[in-house]
Amino acid sequence: MNCRSEVLEVSVEGRQVEEAMLAVLHTVLLHRSTGKFHYKKEGTYSIGTVGTQDVDCDFIDFTYVRVSSDELDRALRKVVGEFKDALRNSGGDGLGQMSLEFYQKKKSRWPFSDECIPWEVWTVKVHVVALATEQERQICREKVGEKLCEKVINIVEVMNRHEYLPKMPMQSEVDNVFDTGLRDVQPYLYKISFQITDALGTSVTTTMRRLIKDTLAL
């Protein structure tokens, strides 16, 4: 089975990086999260309820919807913050990208470790621009807002294709498909990583791979 790959590109001002990334990541995760599963004895399960909330951006004329899960929001904000810092410190042209990868775990026999098989990868390429005047910033607010509207429509279009999704697992397998570590929602297993690229487009500085599940260990 091939991994589906989607690429989005945005050009933003420095202070808009966080909100733009959060908007895209949250929109994708909204579609890729379910309520908590509660397995019953007969092998059936019931699903919890997912709440949603609107988030207004401070630096962009844009509002996005995210699942009502503070844990998930915190996890995303943490990694987006690191990405923003890395972008700022890179001193390059302000080019970078974040990848949100949904994967399934496949148990392997000892001594081999579990395999992580991605089935969908969302890549967001960011180009940071520097603006001089307040008027330019105001225009940028509106333009980036419109661009993000387009990105949301693109994301929804992809989600609507109803392509491959992992099968609903049995209770013993649920951790191979879903991230069950959160209290209120259950997204598919995912990883977020980012890269800062220089003008040549090659990966120069640290490529950080981070398993969000580990950072969520409370």
Site residues (CB under 8 A) for another protein? 27, 30-31, 34-36, 38, 46-54, 56, 61, 63-65, 67-69, 149, 152-153, 155-157, 159-160, 162, 168, 183-185
SS3 203: strand
CB of 205 to another protein, least distance (A): 33
Residue 185 vs 189, nearer CB to another protein? 185
CB of 178 to another protein, least distance (A): 13
Residue 69 vs 90, nearer CB to another protein? 69
CB of 41 to another protein, least distance (A): 16
Q: Cα separation of 67 and 71, whole Å?
A: 10
Q: Cα separation of 68 and 162, whole Å?
A: 24
Residue 132 vs 153, nearer CB to another protein? 153
CB of 202 to another protein, least distance (A): 34
Rounded to an integer, what is the distance from CA 116 to the centroid of its chain? 17
CB 166 within 8 A of CB 104: yes
- Parallel/antiparallel/unpaired status of strands 4-13 and 115-129: parallel
CB 189 within 8 A of CB 102: yes
Residue 74 vs 183, nearer CB to another protein? 183
